[in-house]
Chains A and B, each alone.
Chain A
């Protein structure tokens, strides 16, 4: 039990505590929609008797029964945060894959009247028309025109692939630059958090920033973050340390992309350089960069190889059949398509320019035979290979879309769980504001009451009127 003025002090502590509670509520309301903000909750603690009651044991200075701020909690769950980082990393990986594949697919233009399949059909029909009319220079020119259209259609797809790969290489470069900025920001934040912890100042805002930086790093690279004893985060990319305490390493492109954004012919690989040296990051990163690397290393080259095989098959089969025939003048046919074996789809072109050189006849001597043209109309089974290629691409896009949609449901669920814990509820803040306000008013009333009691005691006691 305190002295005469103890109740005044108790009321004072209540006024102080409720002002803090109002501050926290107003901070929460102000940041209701701030990205990455975790709501704060003020923890009250009653000031009670000393732990060891004794005759002369004293209450803390300025004490007495009352209330004090035990701390301001940041409402987060480290487990949920870890989960969120992982799911966001996977989500970014699948999203980038889906969008890139969809762009590629849009460029294919199948099934339709303008794609490679339609050009192949037209090409076949042109040979039939020539077989019907081997002497007509119009039919011959038509074969060359349709063949050029076909070669162009294949070439356009090949260039689309190149452009897509080029875009992604540029994207990898800018993502890597962003990762390095984030890593050094996180290292600086780690340092500030350690200092704040030593000083005992509130690190809440720094922790918000730390969580946000780590989440973005996970989105970009699928990195994992582990909590340090000093409150900071250590970040590892696929097992290789990127940020350790106040020190940040640099993520670098080890191979696959030239500084100008071109390809150096090797698979895309990454390394991390820090003060202890350079370590290669094992393949299999997730996140945006992992998705881009997968597209560049596996998916795009596989489709390009399939397209190359189609182009090569078309050119070889048509050339073989064409060389078995004779042109209008009766000379043996030459190669019909030309291509560079290093890049068949990108370089396929019609080798003939003179319509008379089309070898429609299987009889030498300049007669009007069309049987080789008939043979050429059925010479190639490239259309079947192409159908398989398109089918494979379609399946891959559909699967990427499904996976991304599933992952999105999962990510949303995790985000929603986090929001349940960390999100600001305006109603709740309103209620706690109201409670603080009332408590503040009540404490003021306590003060007034004590004051008037003392007034009675000091000014009126013992006076006789």
Chain B
């Protein structure tokens, strides 16, 4: 643009415009500095806004998956410790059965003592099978009740899977149906213990031996169930670890998209301030003189 004729108004207008421009840039930097974000509204960068919204959404999901996994881990830990004590109970009952099978040394009173201990073990075993996590029986499926087994050892739960989503598309079952470790109705560990107790009281060697075989099978069954739970627990813990790692990675990415690079903003601000002061000084010098100063 060729300027042929400059007027005082032009100078003041141009000074005002450039001062305004400098102030506007200062205000933008000031906003970035005080909010700590370069992305304050969608129009700052529409593409980054979409990324930020996606990252925020993924981040929320990941945090939630972590919570789901922790909760699932609680269930599985509870089941594991229940199965541990159930295994010990069966082991003890086997020992008692072996003692009872040693017929020469056993009087009726001794067998009665063994039988009553077996009864106690059975009651303890039913208690173990009714283990709850946050008020829900872990072997009871999706029952709304508080028990998986009643006092007689009959299953009162509702079969159904309790599942936790521990990652996008990854669902882990965190309960265990009672029949898996304890046997189905008619062939359950509670009935085997009852049979053993009856056989001990009656001195029925064949019955004791049969119960001993059943208990061996039960012991294997419980430890198989325990190893399955262990496997699931590893999956859940891995997912939990992954969720935590991913949370960190997503937070970093989000911050890269949204947050201001503080050193850069501060340097920019400093430069902009200098430029603004320079234009203020220039304005003051240019607007001051007039021909009237030099004419008399």
Query: Which A residues are within 8 Å of any B CB, using their own CB?
Result: 32-33, 101-102, 105-106, 108, 110-111, 117-118, 120-122, 124-125, 128-129, 131-133, 135, 361, 363, 365-371, 374, 377, 383, 387-388, 390-398, 401, 412-413, 415-417, 419-421, 423-427, 430-431, 434
What are 25 A-B contacts with C-beta separation under 8 Å? A110-B41, A110-B49, A110-B53, A111-B53, A117-B53, A121-B56, A124-B61, A125-B64, A128-B64, A128-B165, A131-B68, A132-B67, A135-B136, A368-B142, A394-B41, A394-B45, A416-B14, A419-B10, A424-B7, A425-B5, A425-B7, A426-B290, A427-B291, A430-B295, A434-B295
B135 x A135 contact (CB < 8 A): yes
From A367, A383, A394, A401, give the contact of B144 (CB < 8 A): A367
**Inter-chain contacts of B227 with A (CB < 8 A):** none
- Chain A residue at minimum C-beta to C-beta distance from B51: A111
Chain B proximity of A90: nearest CB distance (Å): 18
B52 touches A (CB below 8 Å): yes
A369 x B291 contact (CB < 8 A): no
From A105, A128, A398, A421, give the contact of B5 (CB < 8 A): A421
**Chain B window 1-12, contacts with chain A (Cβ cutoff 8 Å), 1 for yes, 0 for no:** 101111111100
* A159 to B254 alpha-carbon distance, docked (Å): 30
* A392 to B42 alpha-carbon distance, docked (Å): 9
* A421 to B4 alpha-carbon distance, docked (Å): 9
- Chain A residue at minimum C-beta to C-beta distance from B72: A132
- Which of B102-110, B155-163, B273-281 binds A? B155-163
**Inter-chain contacts of A111 with B (CB < 8 A):** 39, 42, 49, 52-53, 56, 258
Task: List residues of B (1-27) whose CB comes within 8 Å of A's CBs.
Answer: 1, 3-10, 13-14, 17
Q: A32-B9, A420-B5, A427-B290 are in contact. Are A383 and B57 (CB under 8 A)?
A: yes
**Inter-chain contacts of A434 with B (CB < 8 A):** 295
Task: List residues of B (180-234) whose CB comes within 8 Å of A's CBs.
Answer: none
From B1, B4, B291, give the contact of A426 (CB < 8 A): B291
B56 x A117 contact (CB < 8 A): yes
**Chain B window 248-292, contacts with chain A (Cβ cutoff 8 Å), 1 for yes, 0 for no:** 000000000010000000000000000000000000000000111
| Chain A binding surface SS class | helix
Chain A proximity of B21: nearest CB distance (Å): 10
Closest 7 CB pairs of A and B: A394-B42, A394-B46, A423-B7, A121-B60, A397-B43, A111-B52, A398-B43
Q: A420-B5, A427-B291 are in contact. Are A122 and B60 (CB under 8 A)?
A: yes
* A366 to B162 alpha-carbon distance, docked (Å): 15
**Inter-chain contacts of B68 with A (CB < 8 A):** 128, 131-132
B67 x A128 contact (CB < 8 A): yes
**Inter-chain contacts of A430 with B (CB < 8 A):** 290-292, 295
**Chain B window 98-141, contacts with chain A (Cβ cutoff 8 Å), 1 for yes, 0 for no:** 00000000000000000000000000000000000011100001
Chain B proximity of A131: nearest CB distance (Å): 7
* A369 to B49 alpha-carbon distance, docked (Å): 38
* A131 to B3 alpha-carbon distance, docked (Å): 74
Chain B proximity of A254: nearest CB distance (Å): 33
Q: A121-B60, A430-B292 are in contact. Are A420 and B4 (CB under 8 A)?
A: yes
B164 touches A (CB below 8 Å): yes
* A371 to B165 alpha-carbon distance, docked (Å): 10
* A392 to B53 alpha-carbon distance, docked (Å): 14
B61 x A106 contact (CB < 8 A): no
B50 touches A (CB below 8 Å): yes
- Chain B residue at minimum C-beta to C-beta distance from A408: B17
- Chain A residue at minimum C-beta to C-beta distance from B135: A135
* A383 to B60 alpha-carbon distance, docked (Å): 13
* A367 to B292 alpha-carbon distance, docked (Å): 96
